[in-house]
Chains A and B, each alone.
Chain A
Amino acid sequence: MRGRPSMAARVRHGLSFNTIGAVYVLIAIIVVFSIWVPSTFPTIATVKQVLNSNAITALAALAITIPLATRTFDLSFAYTITLSGVVTAHFLTDGTPLALAVLLGLAVGVVIGVVNATVVVAMRIDSFIATLATGSLIQALITMATNDTPIVNVHLQGGFAKIGQTNIGGITLPVFYALIVALALWFVLEHTATGRRFYATGFNPDAARLAGVRVDRLRFISLIVSGSLSGATGIVLASTIGSGDPTAGTAYLLPGFAAAFLGATQLKHGRFNAFGTIIAVLLLGTGVVGLGLANAPQWAANMFVGVVLIASLAVTGIQRRSTGATPWRKQLSFARLRRSATAG
């Protein structure tokens, strides 16, 4: 057997387009904007601005990374973000102490996670449809709790506001929360048996089961994780905007998935991973800041996101068919769904 590849080979591989193509695109973007607006873009203030304005998106994308690693979709996470913020705001308005109100908001996320897990795993309903459905139920709860009006109250300033609005040296706390979550996810997925089993569950649940992996239990846990993390994100978001807004989370649905999927193409070749997601969030978020500094017309931001996504994926070369890995379309085929539904 040939030995492990040399250090040089590994470094080359690590820096190749296939591994971090998005980083190269990001560097290209930084260069372009630095030339375009040299007085304001290449500054520490810009770095801070990019970090601050994307912390919540990062938290949202990280929240769904673990279910995605098991090929489970959680389309309800944006609503969970909204509901937990609304619930916390509601209790704070009633005079509940801060810690308790925050705990209740977190509990909302956990409960939703359990409900999702039950519907998807125990009732064997396809996760895509199941979480669309639970998302709709959550939306109903949100309307019930808020009557579609943002909850605003003096109790939402002060201590609660500090959760999301405090900044250390110009960097708001949510950035640090996102970093901590990213590190935790990275550790679990890369360095624990459970993380390996998450991936196995996602790539080939039949083979994983035969190898002794408890596939159903892992998928169950993964949805509880996404529910809980979304709940935490919702509280941070509510603190940032100072209200329990019934539409707060909706804006994160698409960016969250976009960043998670783009992140999967980075660093780990098709595996959903924490730092790839962070790179993706930064990549998509730098543009808005830069375009704002450059006073580009406002339609430029959406065009930018679209172009960047395509460019990053093209440069990375997403589906490496040479691996023989099952292409996406086959993975989602009904035969596989049926099999996974009827198999043990």
Chain B
Amino acid sequence: MYLSTPAFRRNRRALGLAAVCAALVLAAAGCGSSSNSSNSGSSGGGSTANAANTTSGANVSAAQAIVAQASQRPASITVTKPVGKPIPTGKKIVFISCGAAACELQGNIVAQAAAMLGWKSSTIATNGTPAAIQAAYETALREGVDGIVTTAALRAEIESQIPQLVAKGIPVSDASSTDPISPPFIYNTSTAPQNATIGKYLAAEVVADSKGKANALYVNLPAYTILAPLGSAFESDLKQLCASCGYGSIGVPLPQLANASTLIVSYLRSHPSVNYVVLSVADALDPGLPAALSAAGLSHVKIVGQGGGPTEFGYLTNGQELALVPYDDYDVDYQMIDALARHFAGVPVQLTPPPLWLITKSNLPANHSAIFPMVADYQSQFLKLWGKQ
């Protein structure tokens, strides 16, 4: 009876549509997952992804040595040469901010460093879009600044402003940029290659903590290409230090960022032997993650990551996360100002990475309600190099 009704005739089409759609999704996902390397834990696609072998060969002691060294708080800043010549005062500096809270904070640090050199500094906030960034550079040019400090600049975004900057001889000091240094840029730190060290530290921590029995999931944010060396360093160092350790990775696209913990939990459930989660950007990927792990009965899985702020420090304290290599706004900003100082003084710029520190509960500074500098007395060390002390 139902078969002859118009309701079924109408629904037949809809059912067909639904079936086709389901088939499409299946097919696409099927094609897709085979190209997603190292992830076929349960279907046994032939790779050794996260399938822990039992052959020995873990170099736990080497890992422990790296951890011991990395866990020591850096005693000195990475810049070493004194400037030597007088640094001109009265310079007008502008910090072009990406608009997010972290960038705002950096603006304050930059201003502080500038003040120490007798310079004036102001912040031009943007909302991160190319249009706003271009406008910020235009404003800087109009105001006749002497130098610019910024982060994660992209040459391609400011093509039309670069010739003007070069013509006026305005130096730009940068950090976390993927571009090679060329005029008007005079400095870059926290570069992609430098990030590899972070991967090494995290790999060592994982191996040491697990005593060679780690099976790690690396969670990447493919949108941030500057992190790529971090991921590949982690993978290669992990394998080097511990051939029997398991490794797998997933990439979280930015539109799915809100679902990151669900994705991680799903992966862990389908790969039950994974016992470490490595976050390429901890503060972006871990909201709600410890709670989700606990609810899914996965509290035994340990979390390490790059970056992190007061929330993550809190997680360290109560054992919800294991280790972090935070990003050091303070040293990085002072390094950028230092580069401008050398430029104005007429001496070569010193390209160095930012100081890195592997932090766990045991060596976390007591005051961690805000982010802190890796080098405790970074300020006086820079002042000494600048001849102000």
A contact residues vs B (CB 8 Å cutoff): 16-18, 21, 25, 28-29, 32, 36-37, 39-40, 45-46, 48-49, 52-53, 146-150, 152-154, 156-157, 161, 164-165, 167, 170-172, 240-243, 245-246, 251, 288-304, 307-308, 310-311, 314-315, 317
CA distance A29 to B261 in the complex (A): 22
Give which listed residue, A53, A171, A289, A297, contacts B36 with CB less than 8 A. A297
CA distance A40 to B42 in the complex (A): 9
- B residues less than 8 Å from A148 (CB atoms): 99-101, 104
B62 an interface residue at 8 Å Cβ cutoff? Answer: no
Give which listed residue, A40, A46, A311, contacts B21 with CB less than 8 A. A311
Residue of A nearest to B222 (CB): A298
CA distance A243 to B101 in the complex (A): 14
B288 an interface residue at 8 Å Cβ cutoff? Answer: yes
CA distance A37 to B77 in the complex (A): 51
- Least CB distance, A69 to chain B, in whole angstroms: 26
Give which listed residue, B13, B18, B29, B297, contacts A297 with CB less than 8 A. B29
Beyond contacts A290-B266, A308-B21: 15 other A-B pairs, Cβ-Cβ < 8 A, are A28-B22, A37-B42, A40-B42, A53-B292, A150-B309, A161-B291, A165-B291, A167-B295, A242-B288, A246-B101, A289-B262, A289-B266, A298-B263, A310-B21, A311-B21
CA distance A251 to B269 in the complex (A): 25
- A residues less than 8 Å from B28 (CB atoms): 300, 303
B contact residues vs A (CB 8 Å cutoff): 7, 10-11, 13-15, 17-18, 21-22, 24-26, 28-29, 32-33, 35-36, 39-42, 99-102, 104-105, 250-253, 255-256, 258-259, 261-263, 265-267, 269-270, 287-288, 291-292, 294-297, 309-311, 314, 317-318, 369
Residue of A nearest to B368 (CB): A154
- B residues less than 8 Å from A40 (CB atoms): 42, 269-270
With A298-B256, A298-B263 known as contacts, the answer to whether A291 contacts B42 (CB < 8 A) is no
Q: Say yes or no: B36 contacts A295, CB within 8 Å.
A: yes
- Least CB distance, B127 to chain A, in whole angstroms: 11
CA distance A40 to B318 in the complex (A): 30
Give which listed residue, B251, B270, B297, contacts A298 with CB less than 8 A. B251
- A residues less than 8 Å from B262 (CB atoms): 49, 53, 288-289, 292
Question: Which 10 interchain pairs have the tightest Cβ spacing?
Answer: A292-B266, A297-B32, A149-B101, A296-B29, A251-B258, A314-B14, A152-B310, A165-B291, A311-B18, A241-B287
